[in-house]
Amino acid sequence: MPARKHIEALVFDLDDTLWPIAPTIHRAEKAMVEWIAGNVPDVARHWDVNTLKLLRASLIAANPALRNDVMALRRGTIFAAFEECGGSATQAEQAFEVFRAARQKVEFYADSLPALERLARHFRLGVISNGFADVHAVGIGHHFESVVSAHEVGVSKPDPRIYAASIRQMRLAPQQMLYVGDDPENDIVGPRQAGLRAAWINRPGGNWPETLGQSHFPDGTFADLGSFADWMLAAR
């Protein structure tokens, strides 16, 4: 992609791009459940994973936008579960804060931090995320001059307004920015429709989804961030 020579900023997804999200969420949920057991035993006795799944589904059915606003969905599910189990809103907020704190304890992919260090020497870096990881809490905030989160701007990927927020913060033309992420729709199609370039970090090695077609195919596909960094820096 010769046009990558004109890229000034790289904007990153976080979950499943810089670290795996499933073990992070598992640890955070475990910490929250342990807190509930130790502090709200009456709720703990009625706490049930299947009930949580049903509550989550009902919240999404009532407000489909929550599917991509994971902070609002997580918080709403916890509050609904506490109400269902006879707990208070104050206790629900405390449980959510336990979850949110544990959510910041991520384990990076081995290639992530070295790639960020290399790229930060040559590009301006930003973040757009539907999740609620805090880049400062996880120790990488110094790399990023722009952080756009769904729960803060009120819309989530692939809504074009969330990419527009990053474009405004970076004060660049969209074609001077390249988005980097793992999700074909949120991290490739959405940014491309907003005018950005896009690179797909395809760690599992899967095929491009046929349902998304070829009109917004990624500018490059990579097995990890190390190979992506090699590709970008080769054009400098």
- Print the domain residue range for 67: 22-103
Same domain as 142, residue 76: no
In angstroms, the CA 10 to CA 124 distance is: 6
Pair (128, 216) in one structural domain = yes
pLDDT for 9 equals 98
Asked if 139 and 91 sit in the same domain, the reply is no
Q: By percentage, how much of the chain surpasses pLDDT 90?
A: 80
CATH of the domain at 81: 1.20.120.1600
What is the 8-class DSSP label of residue 207?
P
What pLDDT digit, counting tens, does each position of 75-126 carry?
999 999 999 899 999 999 999 999 999 999 999 999 999 999 999 999 999 9
171-195 pLDDT, tens per residue? 999 999 999 999 999 999 999 999 9
Question: Do 195 and 92 share a structural domain?
Answer: no
CATH label of the domain that carries residue 212 = 3.40.50.1000
Q: What pLDDT does residue 113 have?
A: 98
Burial (CB < 10 A; 0-12, 13-18, 19+), residue 9, is: buried
Q: Say if residues 3 and 197 touch (Cβ distance below 8 Å).
A: yes
Looking at the fold, whether 62 and 139 belong to one and the same domain comes out as no
Q: Does 99 share its domain with 117?
A: no
Number of domains in the chain: 2
**Are residues 135 and 14 in contact, defined by beta-carbon separation less than 8 angstroms?**
yes
CA distance 158 to 74: 19
Residue at a domain's end among 87, 103, 119: 103
